[in-house]
Structure 1
């Protein structure tokens, strides 16, 4: 099953309709990675603020075991 391109994919294809060198490609990948990492960070900050959580919540999560038990 083929999925249609997303609006982001279409825009990127339009914007980069020419060959670039590898160093430029790496720069663009880094910019995109940084952009989405910042979005995730902002979302986590908002979530922590909305729930009144602090760093102790991260400690709590780090101690959780969420794996399913292995059954033979």
Structure 2
């Protein structure tokens, strides 16, 4: 990914576009993290009771 970002800079991407690219990357990584955490959540059989248990420190 770093190489691809360097290619963008080398291609002369305007500075005003960079925040947009940063936002796209952040959204992509957030989506992947949510998907992975959802899989783990299901695999482990977590539910609202699990969260309540964690919040109570039990």
Q: TM-score range by the shorter chain?
A: 0.7 to 0.9
Unaligned runs of 5+ in 1: 1-7, 65-72
Bigger helix share? 2
- Between the two proteins, the alignment pairs up a number of residues equal to 56
Q: Which has the larger radius of gyration?
A: 1
Regions of 4+ moved over 6 Å: none
RMSD: 1.6
Give the TM-score taking structure 1 as reference length. 0.63
Larger RCO: 1 or 2 (CA < 8 Å, sep 6+)? 2
Give the TM-score taking structure 2 as reference length. 0.75
Unaligned runs of 5+ in 2: none
